[in-house]
Amino acid sequence: MTNETESRIPLDDLLVFHQLARSLTSSFDLDTILRTILEQMERIMEAELWTLLMLDEATQELYYAIAAGGEQEALRDLRVKVGEGVAGWVVQHGETLIVPETSTDPRLMEEGGATSHNIRSVIALPLRGRKGTHGAIEIFNPRTEQMTDYTIAFLHILADHAAIAIENAHDVARIQQLTITDDTTGLYNVRHLYDVLGRELSRCSRMKLPLSVAFLDLDQFKLVNDVHGHLIGSELLARAGQRLRELSRKQDWCFRYGGDEFVILMPETSAEEAHARANNLLSALMNTRFRMKGGMELSVRASVGLATAPIDGATVHAVIGAADTRMYMVKSNGRGQVWHK
């Protein structure tokens, strides 16, 4: 018969579990959650290296989201395909993998992310939630005496709670994304424009840097709806919006302002640079042939008004108003141009 004292969970382990549960439920920030998982699991088992990999669903590859011992920088650009190596096998099968020190398991040979370490053994656990497996935790060269059934079971419990916290963080992020995204184009919406522009104006003002805004209106777009119908019109709007995103720099922000109007926010960009960029963007946009789902090809023309802070104003409404006014000046002077002063 098992002694009651022996079957009781140690207080230290209960405290670890309590701390993890409290930390995971107090934040919906994914980076915070991942760091909490690793910090708490390190308290349970000593090992030479801990890594936590997350699944990129688009590419079906795992990336190193966080690693203990200052290894994250070295692993930042490495990718592991699902099915390859220890982590890839764990994610593919949704099962824990324990490779003891005496093993010559070929999956260890495929573990490219840890080639700088002398890998002798590994424990890998899937981060499996209600909606699938989201990644894996790897524990390299754990202390042999700690690889007990009790410790492994405790790691499983923590991994399960971690997976739920990750899913909750993803759900919150999706909801937040929906509130700032335009349904038709997939670009940010006007509500988010005012938030981002306000923050960028404050930042650029502190750093004494310029900020430019391009207000773009598609010329005579009503004719598309009248001739081809609103479904084609919505499709063309979506394609034009995505083309604007493609033509913009990584640091620029693209928004659908409403109707057939778009705004491109260009941080740290002077009036002269913004004018040159807007001219190039407008030319490329108007030279694009958009192939619709039904096979027809359409193009768009546009008028662009530019404004630059602080010379055209230092507030959100002043900068947007100046760019909007100049866009209508283009409309009154032949369309298809950029107006910046």
Same domain, 241 and 291: yes
CA 163 to chain centre: 18
Residue in 215, 225, 224, 199 with CA at minimum distance from that of residue 257: 215
Same domain, 167 and 31: yes
- On average, the pLDDT of the chain sits at 85
Same domain, 196 and 68: no
pLDDT in tens, 5-64: 445 667 676 776 676 666 666 666 777 777 777 777 777 778 888 888 889 888 989 988
Write down the pLDDT at residue 71.
Answer: 61
Mean pLDDT of 248-267: 95
Same domain, 20 and 94: yes
Residue 183 counted as domain residue: no
Same domain, 152 and 272: no
Mean pLDDT of 203-216: 95
Q: Is the pLDDT of residue 157 over 60?
A: yes
- Structural domain that includes position 103: 4-178
Write down the pLDDT at residue 195.
Answer: 92
Say how far apart CA 271 and CA 277 lie, in whole Å.
Answer: 10
Say how far apart CA 161 and CA 34 lie, in whole Å.
Answer: 12
Same domain, 18 and 125: yes
Mean pLDDT of 129-146: 86
Say how far apart CA 24 and CA 89 lie, in whole Å.
Answer: 26
With contact defined as beta carbons under 8 Å apart, do 336 and 286 qualify? yes
The CATH number of the domain holding residue 213 is 3.30.70.270
Residue 95 counted as domain residue: yes
The helix or strand, by DSSP H or E, that contains position 183, with its residue range, turns out to be none
Which has more pLDDT, 328 or 165?
Answer: 328
Mean pLDDT of 178-188: 89
Same domain, 150 and 36: yes
Query: pLDDT-derived band of residue 4, with 50, 70 and 90 as boundaries?
Result: very low
The CATH number of the domain holding residue 134 is 3.30.450.40
Helix axes 30-42, 11-25, angle to 10 degrees: 170
**166 Cβ contact list (under 8 Å, min separation 6):** 30, 33, 34, 127, 129, 134, 135
Tokens of 238: 């979506």
Q: What percent of the chain has pLDDT over 70?
A: 87
Q: Is the pLDDT of residue 136 over 80?
A: yes
Residue 333 counted as domain residue: yes
Residue 269 counted as domain residue: yes
With contact defined as beta carbons under 8 Å apart, do 53 and 135 qualify? yes
DSSP strand pairing (132-142 vs 47-56): antiparallel
Tokens of 180: 């700032």
Mean pLDDT of 290-308: 94
Mean pLDDT of 149-169: 83
Tokens of 153: 């079971």
With contact defined as beta carbons under 8 Å apart, do 162 and 25 qualify? no
Residue 184 counted as domain residue: no
Single residue among 148, 178, 208 that ends a domain in this structure: 178
Single residue among 153, 178, 203 that ends a domain in this structure: 178
What's the number of domains the chain is made of? 2
Single residue among 178, 199, 219 that ends a domain in this structure: 178
The helix or strand, by DSSP H or E, that contains position 181, with its residue range, turns out to be none
Residue 110 counted as domain residue: yes
Cβ count near 79 (within 10 Å) = 15
Write down the pLDDT at residue 246.
Answer: 96
Residue 50 counted as domain residue: yes
Q: Is the pLDDT of residue 334 over 70?
A: yes
Residue 185 counted as domain residue: no
pLDDT in tens, 225-243: 999 999 999 999 999 999 9
Same domain, 163 and 231: no
Range in 84-98, 167-181, 223-237 the model is least confident about: 167-181
Same domain, 82 and 208: no
Same domain, 42 and 167: yes
Same domain, 325 and 194: yes
Mean pLDDT of 185-206: 93
Write down the pLDDT at residue 187.
Answer: 94
Same domain, 224 and 98: no
